[in-house]
Structure 1
Amino acid sequence: MPLRFILAALWLTFASTTGALSDPARWAAEWPRTDFTTTSLTDWDEIRSGGPPRDGIPALSDPAFWPVTSETRLAAREPVIALELDGSPPRAYPLRYLTWHEIVNDRIGGVPVAVTFCPLCNSAITFDRRTAQGTLVFGVSGKLRHSDMVMYDRQTESWWQQARGEAIVGALTGTRLETLPSWVESWAVFRARNPDGLVMEEPAFPRAYGRNPYQGYDRSAWPFLYSGERPPHGIEPLARVVRVGDRAWPLARLRAAGEISEDGITLSWRAGLASALDSGQIAKGREVGMIRVRDGAGRDLSHDLMFAFAFHAFWPEGRWMLDGVTD
């Protein structure tokens, strides 16, 4: 069993014998600069420890990159987050690294970005780190809400919900981050499309990069540390969905169709991508396929390929884009 799951199980045992730990007063020593009097939460019990403490999962800042032609570690089907901003060489962020670090604070041209991946929600989102309050640098709080990573900014130590890109606790509560179009695709596809592109180098941390510490997770019957509702329409909690805004297309529907054009956008699916949350080695994960989402002019749109339970938890009134029916 992955270490994170073991630590969280121990935490749950401790919590059951000592009372609720979702009390801001208990967190003051660890978070002395966080303003717990300002929050959008209505129930503190939604916040849980994921096992590791604050920065126990170390976010990265200003990582090194090298040409795609120099990369030899990545297998063809390994997933990478592709980020292509005008005026700068395209960059690939391998999930073999994001699985262990979850956040990469980077700068592409003049744009400060946070490339994020929450394995427990399969949520890979890229944010612009600029806000009206200044440019932020993000870390991993060690907390979860609805099984989704709670990030924090190092400037005010406000807490942020990764799935929504919104501050939920602290001085910046209610502030939203702008999302940037990025997508998960195979290393082979990124390399072929971007022969002059860049790929993040292996971080200098003692981690088993390439190994999946969440082996078998996306075949689980129930999410880790999640106590919310099941998704509607008989959709399995850990089924993947393509979220665009407050709409969700089941990946199974898109995979069967190959391409779907509706509601003003076009979603496409192609084979060749390994799941990062299946086998013990990411490169050997089962086929899940890769997607692109574009508007009517062919421009890439911000989206997320997340688990159904997370979409339902964070967009309870969201629209489910089923076969010919929306709900």
Structure 2
Amino acid sequence: MLNRVCLVLAAFALASMAQAEPRSWKSEWPETDFSRTSVENWSEIISGGPPRDGIPALTDPDMVPAREEARLDPREPVMTLELGNGARAYSVRYLMWHEIANDVVAGQPVAVTYCPLCNTAMVFDRRVGDRVLEFGVSGKLRFSDMIMYDRQTESWWQQALGTAIVGEMTGTQLTQLPAVMESWGDFLDRHPDGLVMDQPRTARQYGMNPYRGYDGSARPFLYRGENPPHGIEPLARVVRVGNRAWPIGRLRAAGEIREAGLVLRWQAGQASALDTAEIAQGRDVGTVRVTDDTGQPVVHDMPFAFAFHAFHPDGDWMLGD
């Protein structure tokens, strides 16, 4: 059952549904060009509860040597990124409360993003042409997915797609980078000389899950779209590569799948961030790695099935025989 925090947010969201159109947003977003959008039905966009920047994105987060980090449990999930000769980990215990970390890794501006309601953990290049964008959390949701905004043009971006959907940048696509959601223990074993994001200097219940029991729920929070096809549970995890989705249950049972020029592997040892009250105690959902047939990492993410269906309605479900 969702906890009290989620119920409060739901009340705010339900109250805002009747106001889902640009006239009611212009006072909060005076620099956003609402005449430019790819959204056909404004009612798809609702408030998630917190206002603009009510969930505070991070910029230039402090990093500490992985060897010196003693707060993280080995099973805790972290988003990991390898660029240049270095590796960095961004703990979900912090991303749960901030959702975006604007950083620079090996000279490359990146946005590490996580939407708990869709389980979409994605890293993007923040460069668009000759601009470097900095992202914040708008407080708006579409199909339960976080809508980000850039501070340069105040355009709105759909996190699950990395695409601008409202404003000057509408239609612009961010480049998603290969990243992995894995356990802290696995990252530390592979990269003892790597870096890990330090605890932010804000008062939050870091290490706790405000969405307790969410990924065992029958229905997604604040979602009003269709359920996924083939009898797949809405909150079942899938492995998304492009327009294809592999159900995690199939991959977990096989251990390895070689298909469509890809190699998908599942390994036990990572706690769900959206199960128990304490993230480190969540049930084992394992780590997924995706490579091409030469062993090179492939861009992927691990959304819930409902989110894949909402944003890729014509996507291919890789169900096997």
Q: Scaled by the length of structure 2, what TM-score is found?
A: 0.98
- CA distance, structure 2, for counterparts of residue 11 and residue 86 of structure 1: 42
Match of 2:60 in 1: 62
Q: Structure 1 residues 15 and 184 mapped into 2: Cα distance closer, same or farther (>3 Å)?
A: closer
State the match for 2:254 in structure 1. Answer: 257
Write the letter of the residue equivalent to 2:43: D
Query: How many residues are aligned here?
Result: 319
Q: Pick the aligned partner of 1:156 from 147, 153, 156.
A: 153
Establish whether residue 126 from structure 1 lines up as the match of residue 123 from structure 2.
Answer: yes
Aligned match of 1:284 in 281, 284, 292?
281
Once residues 71 and 5 of structure 1 are traced to their aligned partners in structure 2, the CA distance between those partners, rounded to angstroms, is 34
Whichever residue aligns with residue 8 of structure 1, its letter is A
In the alignment, structure 1 residue 175 sits paired with structure 2 residue 172: yes
- Asked if 1:245 corresponds to 2:249, the answer is no
Contact 1:4 1:50 in 2 (8 A): no
Residues 16, 46 of structure 2: 8 Å contact kept: no
Q: Does 1:99 align with 2:96?
A: yes
* RMSD of aligned residue pairs (Cα, Å): 1.0
Structure 2 CA distance for aligned equivalents of residues 229 and 156 of structure 1: 32
- Looking at structure 1, the residues matched to 169 and 35 of structure 2 have their Cα atoms a distance apart, in angstroms, of 12
Aligned match for 1:209, one of 180, 203, 206: 206
- Give the percent of matched residue pairs that are identical in Structure 1 and Structure 2: 62
Q: Secondary structure at the match of 2:8?
A: helix
Q: CA deviation at 1:263?
A: 0.2
Specify whether residues 173 and 223 from structure 1 end up closer, same or farther in structure 2 by C-alpha distance, changes over 3 A only: same
1:272-325 CA deviation, whole Å, 9 max, x = no partner?
A: 00000000000000010000000111011110101000000000000000023x
Contact 1:79-1:274 within 8 A present in 2 as well? yes
Contact 2:269–2:287 (8 Å) recurs in 1: yes
What SS does the aligned partner of 1:3 have?
helix
**Does residue 108 of the first structure (1) align with residue 87 of the second (2)?**
no
Partners of 2:70 and 2:106 in 1: CA distance: 26
Question: What SS class does the counterpart of residue 192 from structure 1 fall into?
Answer: helix
Partner of 1:7: 9
Q: 1:30 aligns with which of 16, 28, 31?
A: 28
Instruction: Please name the residue that 1:47 is paired with.
Output: 45
Equivalent residue of 2:234, what SS? coil
* Residue of structure 1 aligned with 2:144, choices 143, 147, 155: 147
Q: Which runs of 5+ in 1 are unaligned?
A: none
1:214 corresponds to which letter in structure 2?
Y
Q: Of 294, 305, 318, which residue of structure 1 is paired with 2:315? A: 318
Q: CA deviation at 1:2?
A: 4.1
Runs of 4+ in 1 over 2 A off after TM superposition: 1-5
Distance 1:193 1:7 in 2: 39
Distance (Å, rounded) in 2 between the aligned partners of 1:307 and 1:291: 14
Counterpart CA distance in 1 for 2:84 and 2:238 is 28
2:186 — aligned with what?
A: 189
3-state SS in 2 of match to 1:223: coil
